[in-house]
Structure 1
Amino acid sequence: MSLSRPLSLIGVPTDIGASVRGASMGPEALRVAQLQARLEAHGLTVHDLGNLPGPANPWLPPRDGYRHLDEVVQWNRSVHDAVFEALQRGHLPVMLGGDHCLAIGSISAVARHCREQGKRLRVLWLDAHADFNTSAITPSGNVHGMPVACLCGHGPAGLTTLGGVVPAISPKVVRQIGIRSVDPGEKRFVHEQDLEVFDMRYIDESGMRHTMELALATLDENTHLHVSFDVDFLDPDIAPGVGTTVPGGPTYREAQLCMEMIADTGRLASLDVVELNPALDLRNRTAELAVDLIESLFGKSTLMRK
């Protein structure tokens, strides 16, 4: 895979939407794991734009079904503007979270860019969770459980309107992979909205290769592929450094195959890396694994055949 576009690394050091503290340290852990140098070793041009500023986490209980809504909106506005600016400059934005609520800003910006450029959008959501809660059905009020719903127009105006059009995306553009923890009300809502979900049972029965073939089907040269990679997608045996571990995730080899097949399309145009929590990690092991997998997204391959 040859990628001519420069990469822009955008650090977003906040756990404002999360259920436990620590994801705010995720961007630095990825830098400590040599993300920039490892990508540059593959011939890529990488600009680290540093960390976005934003409000501190007040760590308060939910109000009206949301925790920290004002601060979540502020962070996501900053993410939207930074990601949109990177895309306007012809760069490939890599948003280093931070918790997964930040994908609202990131994907709103990508969707806006696609509308302006006349491109189709495909979003791959690699996650243990569907993240399709609303204030009415959330058990916790944590906004990192709501980003896909907000992007599809189900959420507070401060989050659904970020990219200027509501909804920012249709559920039809999303493919969720690795899902294995969904709240009861959320499950009903996912079915109502007809979200395409390849859960772990599907991967067990059909294999990661067939799953990815379906998730990547019908991509063409006019498709912008966005990957939102929640590190809790991975099995906690190999990736313990996340706040919401769910047993039974993809193995190292399954995750590598997933990333390599995305790279093979040559369509990857923006990326979120979220929910890495160094406070819960062992010697930065999860960050190093995440960097290894990100390298594979950008063309590092185990392929020995000609």
Structure 2
Amino acid sequence: MVQSVRVAALIGAPTDVGAADRGASMGPEALRVAGLQEALAGRGLEVLDRGNLNGPGNPWRPAVDGYRHLHEVVHWNRQVHDAVYAQLQASRLPILLGGDHCLGIGSISAAARHCREKNRTLRVLWLDAHTDFNTRELSPSGNLHGMSVACLCGFGPRELVELSGQVPAIEPRAVRQIGIRSVDPAEKRFVHEQGLNVFDMRYIDEMGMRRAMRGALSGMDERTHLHVSFDVDFLDPVIAPGVGTTVPGGPTYREAQLCMEMIADTGQLCSLDIMELNPAFDMHNRTAMLAVDLVESLFGKSTLMRPVDADGGIGAARGE
């Protein structure tokens, strides 16, 4: 198990150029107002706030050749890639504050580049209501936040798929998607063709979050770099209304806490995205405060300190 990184770097990316709705550009400040830096410091981390990246505004234009705002999305993702990569090179844990989920292309490309250089294995946990595996041929909207994982796997515009310096940046087998419950029909076929590992809400309903997470985290070793890309619409909108693309039937508060706690138990979280928080749809910053609460659990907060058994379960503490 790798030693925990004790210095976290906050990187704000205030843009919604890849999204279907405006407002995610306000996400970084909402997370700061909700006390993210103080919460992380309370978990024993040294926290450096690197401020916000700069990039073009949202032109709010229709898609061109199947992509909306491609030039702007590329600019923002280059900024994100360089900022995240610099923090990884400095042995810090970058925390990207989005912004819409197209920015995951830049952050995960940076993690992939870092892992290649350090001879480490990248595992990506994609916590989301959507697979984000569309292409311009499949997408009904052209919004690039719905194409992020496809771009990372080599299916997308050259400017985005080449960000990490290698195409594809990652193989589908590196990704575990959790909480999925909204997939376009053609996108669903493409997901199956590419063999993505998806623990959708039916799986979670039938088997439970614990079994889903044990599957998602299986196969990691001390050389694994774990990247968590947390789209806030992963959560059920009853508890997290502050997103632009709400989909009913997501994880409950306790299911989400268990997900985060089991990630924390690995001790291998090395980089993090917090995406798609949209204060324009929120109530009194409620969703931002919930996101901060869950991020605390990612860094070790739990309701009860308990021993962990050899295969990552909690049975020993429960007499199972």
Q: TM-score range by the shorter chain?
A: over 0.9
What is the alpha-carbon distance in structure 1 between the residues aligned to residue 180 and residue 44 of structure 2?
A: 33
Measure, in 2, the Cα distance between the counterparts of 1:17 and 1:31. Answer: 22
The 8 Å contact of residues 5 and 90 in structure 1, kept in 2 or not, is answered as no
Q: TM-score, normalised by structure 1?
A: 0.99
Matched to 2:220, the amino acid is L
- Asked if structure 2 preserves the Cα contact closer than 8 Å seen for 1:100 and 1:147, the reply is yes
Percent identity among equivalent residues? 73
Contact 1:100–1:144 under 8 Å retained in 2: yes
SS at match of 2:208: helix
Aligned AA (2:102)? C
Aligned to 2:236: 235
The CA deviation at 1:42 is 1.5
- Counterpart in 1 of 2:298? 297
Partner of residue 102, structure 1: 103
Aligned amino acid, residue 203 of structure 1:
I
Q: Distance in 2 between matches of 1:114 and 1:146?
A: 23
CA-atom RMSD in angstroms = 1.0
- Matched residue, 1:59: 60
Q: How far apart, CA to CA, are the structure 1 residues paired with 2:165 and 2:6?
A: 26
Residue identity matched to 1:51 = N
Q: C-alpha distance in 2, partners of 1:114/1:305? A: 32
The CA distance in 1 between the partners of 2:263 and 2:306, in whole Å, is: 18
Query: Do structure 1's residue 43 and structure 2's residue 44 form an aligned pair?
Result: yes
Deviation at 1:218, TM superposition (A): 1.2
**Contact 1:135–1:141 under 8 Å retained in 2:** yes
TM-superposed deviation, 1:303: 1.7
Shift of the alpha carbon at 1:122?
A: 0.4
Say if 1:145 and 1:4 are closer, same or farther in 2 by CA, change over 3 A: closer
Instruction: Label 1:71 to 1:225 Cα distance change in 2 as closer, same or farther (>3 A).
Output: same
User: Retained in 1: the 8 A contact 2:231–2:275?
Assistant: yes
Partner of 2:254: 253
Report how far residue 305 of structure 1 moved. 3.9
Cα distance in 2 for residues equivalent to 1:207 and 1:64: 41
Unaligned runs of 5+ in 2: 308-320
In structure 2, C-alpha distance between the alignment counterparts of 1:241 and 1:142, rounded to whole Å: 19
**Is the 1:14–1:99 Cα contact (8 Å) retained in structure 2?**
yes
The residue identity in structure 2 corresponding to 1:140 is: S
Q: 1:96 is matched by which residue type in structure 2? A: L
Taking the aligned partners of 1:215 and 1:245, their CA distance within structure 2 comes to: 24
**In the alignment, what sits opposite 1:114?**
115
Q: Deviations along 1:163-205, whole A, 9 cap, x unmatched?
A: 1100000000000000000001100100000001000000000
- Hey, what's the Cα distance between the residues in 1 that align with 2:3 and 2:257? 19
Give the aligned partner of residue 182 of structure 1: 183
Q: Which runs of 4+ in 1 moved over 2 A?
A: 1-5
SS at match of 1:179: coil
In structure 2, the residue matched to 1:280 is 281
Within 2, Cα distance between the matches of 1:2 and 1:106?
Answer: 21
Task: Note the C-alpha offset of 1:160.
Answer: 0.3
Counterpart of 2:246, as a letter, is T
User: 1:173 and 1:3 mapped to 2: Cα distance?
Assistant: 21
- The residue aligned with 2:226 is 225
TM-fit CA distance, 1:4: 4.1
2-structure distance, mates of 1:66, 1:249: 28
Letter in 1 for 2:146: G
Q: Does 1:194 align with 2:167?
A: no
CA shift digits 1:97-138 (9 cap, x unpaired): 000000000000000000000000100000000000000000
Aligned length: 306
> Cα 1:305–1:117, aligned 2, differ >3 Å: closer, same or farther?
closer
Counterpart-to-counterpart distance in 2, 1:157 and 1:27: 28
The answer on whether the counterparts of 1:76 and 1:104 sit within 8 Å (CA) in structure 2 is yes
SS at match of 1:39: helix
Quote the offset at 1:301 in angstroms.
Answer: 1.1
